[in-house]
A and B are shown apart, each in its own frame.
Chain A
């Protein structure tokens, strides 16, 4: 390990511009003649549009145009799509209702766009948007997914009878699973709710659409985690423009957490409106618009049965989940509660029979899609709450019950598709318990009792699937795209290096970690390496950043490209030094002939490639190689989290006094960045468990948590200092042996926290977020 190579704690190269306010985000982009869009949004959760009168708005100062959904339809702009086909267990395809970028006949949630105003300034656009008169016929609304499935509830889409999108099953046959449960010595049954979250990236969504009539060409600046997918979808499905006439740029992006994977109406509207009005059109969401229209996360209602034999080994698991999809099917929504959720229901445990049933349901709420962890937090919360409850019911320690059921040999085929490649769950459990001083908890509890506090401890053993994903495998499961990644390594004539990657960076630190790979390979300073991403005109194709895939998939593509560059560089160096190619090593910024003092500086190798004065016979000039990497399997990060809390029984307030994370991410490129990812993930997991929750009024469908006055985000003082450690079983299926770390914190932490609180108060009946009010009520109910 060099000071800047693999395994080094290199400070983030990108932080200088971020910390000094010099980052350049979509809203910072200015192009000549640029104007501003404001959306007219539905104030109703469900209504028919009888008419839109924009005459007053059109006459207001600064207004360039007021556009509506009918015009968009007439111009041939297509429906928004969900890109993953799920078939119900009866074989029928999922029932997808039409999602228009601007509604023209029916609005289905508060915030649904009904018109857009383009004006000289943001203020004028908003003033005019308020003057657009929409005649609505209000319809009854339903916001709860369980209720939406009931007879005689409001129906959202004619395509989806009973609001049911799909009724899907995975795993062991239901009859076989039921039989195992019937034969069990003990069955733990629970109802588990996974609360709906708003993503809350610091940078709100924004888009700038620029139509160039001279070239009949479009440019879209947008807050995207995957600009190439955005271009593909906008071109292939929305008919905005063919790919060669559409450039998508995702510059600095201030957080995504999944919410910026999806293609939203606004970027399509900005592009379309730019052509229609003849001016570049920019839109930037305000925070309330973000709460209303950013795709939410989670929102599952599940029942679970976990069966044990007399030796406390799990014999079967049966899960029935209802997933709230909101008013429309967002881009990856269908995959989240199916192939990113049910496939992880085996957890770290050897479970011979698992049957999962998932129903996806329309409601009059914002669309729901992937949010940090995407399906895996829901699976982990369900499983780890159930394990904890089972341990209490069976009267054995939570660690012992888990140990008894750990998978201990690999590869391990679960009943729910996944084939785990490597892991050592005992190692993380032991590390976490040691770090948390689990054995000393009793004394700490007694001491807290003397201060009038209820102290509790809880654990969670999570597994997730990252490095998504093998293209052929996901294709067979319904994915509309392949999930490989691309890279291109360009060595310049003086030896500096540009790496072009399809992995977009929006907080992950790719400009540093990806450069470390190159520095490690050639021994060049990372300052001589630039990472280029986020522009479809620069990087040919890529699948973007989500699902903790940039390391395992994105960096693997870079490794493949580096292999090709290294091979050619060695040929050149061998030729220059009249040595055998096999004797060349490249390190510390020079090529050497092993066992001799012959060296050629790296820049001379590069220069030789470009002068082409003295290359091996038949070799093409230049030193630039590209690669596509398609993973052969998912990767399986896993770990153990332990949380210790003190509850104030008088107020119900929970204080987190200790949080321990022991994670196995395989090999690690930059431990500092990995720790940062874990810290951020845990903060979001604690946010879900303790503070955050989207509330809609059940009658009106109005969003009650539309600002930070009512939506509780975690703050620094809500969080303890985290104790983070890493165990390492390298991933055998990618060249770097890495598994991914971006989502683990958000996946592993919520059940640890709820297990700790329920342990403290002696009442297992507690839903997230565990607000002081709920905990206080649970404390009282237990007494």
Chain B
């Protein structure tokens, strides 16, 4: 790891000030991606601004027909939350599948979506739940937020403060983990909510998380696994690596989608 300066931000405003003080500063939340990357000397921020101790970014609330999860909420907190289990059990299930217990107690929902790893679990749920990403300066629809591999609509110093969504009528998540990393080789989140049926796919897309239009269309009239039997997934838009070819991932998208619907 290269030498770096650590700062603990006490508020969102404090974090913005600390970040602005250096050209090469980076925010760190759970650090589950950034710290290993720094250890491998593949990232060299001059300063780290720690967002984990900002009270306004913590906590889970359900009110006015919206679920609000503070960006600093850990995966373990989401997985164990009675509010989330009541409002959207599929999301609690998704959180329980991330990494291992150590990762789940360090990693945060804000960090996960801001990083937008193409194999991360949360982005698929954000898309499928038509979530809103609340930042320090605006609200961004999930559809506009995830823009490519490790790319988001966030400006350089913009901080994700929370995510909000309307509890779905039904939702399910099914994940096939990569045998090595246990990240999603394919994860499919399906949700039937106020805005209709939405299907978010992670781990498989060549450009990162995506919505599966054909599946959404098929499920709109008939929200059942059988409705997906005729739906195909185009391998040409999918990732291919030593763990799984695009054709294999296309199959996994179909299988995981059916299982997610069955679980919803």
Closest to A776 in B: B248
On chain A, the residues within 8 Å of B138 by CB distance are: none
Chain B min CB distance to A61 (Å): 10
Query: Roughly how many angstroms separate A405 CA and B133 CA in the complex, as a whole number?
Result: 69
Query: Roughly how many angstroms separate A140 CA and B176 CA in the complex, as a whole number?
Result: 38
Closest to B254 in A: A650
Closest to A691 in B: B179
Chain A min CB distance to B237 (Å): 18
Query: Roughly how many angstroms separate A712 CA and B181 CA in the complex, as a whole number?
Result: 7
Known A651-B176, A776-B248, A777-B248: A710·B181 in contact at CB below 8 Å: yes
Q: How many chain-A residues does the 8 Å CB contact rule pick out?
A: 25
Known A127-B2, A709-B180, A710-B181: A773·B245 in contact at CB below 8 Å: yes
Q: Type the 1/0 row for B179-191, where 1 means its CB is closer than 8 Å to any CB of A.
A: 1110100000000
In the complex, are the beta carbons of A123 and B2 less than 8 A apart?
yes
In the complex, are the beta carbons of B243 and A708 less than 8 A apart?
no
On chain B, the residues within 8 Å of A695 by CB distance are: 242
Q: Type the 1/0 row for B247-264, where 1 means its CB is closer than 8 Å to any CB of A.
A: 010011001000000000
Which of A126, A708, A777 is within 8 Å of B180, CB to CB? A708
A704 at the interface (CB under 8 A from B): yes
Closest to B251 in A: A776
A711 at the interface (CB under 8 A from B): yes
Q: Type the 1/0 row for A626-651, where 1 means its CB is closer than 8 Å to any CB of B.
A: 00000000000000000000000011
Query: Roughly how many angstroms separate A650 CA and B244 CA in the complex, as a whole number?
Result: 14
Chain B min CB distance to A775 (Å): 10
Chain A min CB distance to B264 (Å): 18
On chain B, the residues within 8 Å of A711 by CB distance are: 180
Closest to B249 in A: A773
In the complex, are the beta carbons of A288 and B40 less than 8 A apart?
yes
Which of A426-461 touch B at CB < 8 Å? Answer: none
B1 at the interface (CB under 8 A from A): yes
Q: Type the 1/0 row for A768-782, where 1 means its CB is closer than 8 Å to any CB of B.
A: 000111001100000
Query: Roughly how many angstroms separate A712 CA and B248 CA in the complex, as a whole number?
Result: 18
On chain A, the residues within 8 Å of B2 by CB distance are: 123, 127
On chain A, the residues within 8 Å of B242 by CB distance are: 695, 704-705, 710
Closest to B252 in A: A651
Known A123-B2, A704-B242, A705-B242: A651·B255 in contact at CB below 8 Å: yes
Q: How many chain-B residues does the 8 Å CB contact rule pick out?
A: 18
Which of B1-59 touch A at CB < 8 Å? Answer: 1-3, 40-41
On chain B, the residues within 8 Å of A130 by CB distance are: 41
Which of A127, A709, A773 is within 8 Å of B248, CB to CB? A773
On chain A, the residues within 8 Å of B243 by CB distance are: 710, 771, 773
Query: Roughly how many angstroms separate A776 CA and B245 CA in the complex, as a whole number?
Result: 11
Chain B min CB distance to A708 (Å): 6
Closest to A777 in B: B248
On chain A, the residues within 8 Å of B183 by CB distance are: 709
Closest to B182 in A: A715
Chain A min CB distance to B170 (Å): 22
On chain A, the residues within 8 Å of B179 by CB distance are: 691, 712, 771-772
On chain B, the residues within 8 Å of A712 by CB distance are: 179-180
Q: Type the 1/0 row for B132-169, where 1 means its CB is closer than 8 Å to any CB of A.
A: 00000000000000000000000000000000000000
In the complex, are the beta carbons of A123 and B1 less than 8 A apart?
yes
On chain B, the residues within 8 Å of A776 by CB distance are: 248, 251
On chain A, the residues within 8 Å of B248 by CB distance are: 652, 772-773, 776-777
On chain B, the residues within 8 Å of A704 by CB distance are: 242
Q: Type the 1/0 row for B60-97, where 1 means its CB is closer than 8 Å to any CB of A.
A: 00000000000000000000000000000000000000
Most chain A beta-carbon neighbours within 10 Å: one of B181, B248, B252? B248
Closest to A769 in B: B179
Q: A651-B176, A773-B244 are in contact. List 9 more A-B contacts (CB 8 A).
A: A653-B176, A705-B180, A708-B181, A709-B183, A710-B180, A713-B180, A772-B176, A773-B245, A777-B248
21 A-B pairs with C-beta separation under 8 A: A123-B1, A123-B2, A288-B40, A650-B251, A650-B255, A651-B252, A652-B248, A691-B180, A705-B180, A707-B40, A708-B180, A709-B180, A709-B183, A712-B179, A771-B179, A771-B243, A772-B176, A772-B179, A772-B244, A772-B248, A773-B243
Residues of B participating in the A interface, judged by any CB pair closer than 8 Å: 1-3, 40-41, 176, 179-181, 183, 242-245, 248, 251-252, 255
Q: Closest 4 interchain pairs by CB? A: A712-B180, A712-B179, A709-B181, A650-B255
Residues of A participating in the B interface, judged by any CB pair closer than 8 Å: 123, 126-127, 130, 288, 650-653, 691, 695, 704-705, 707-713, 771-773, 776-777
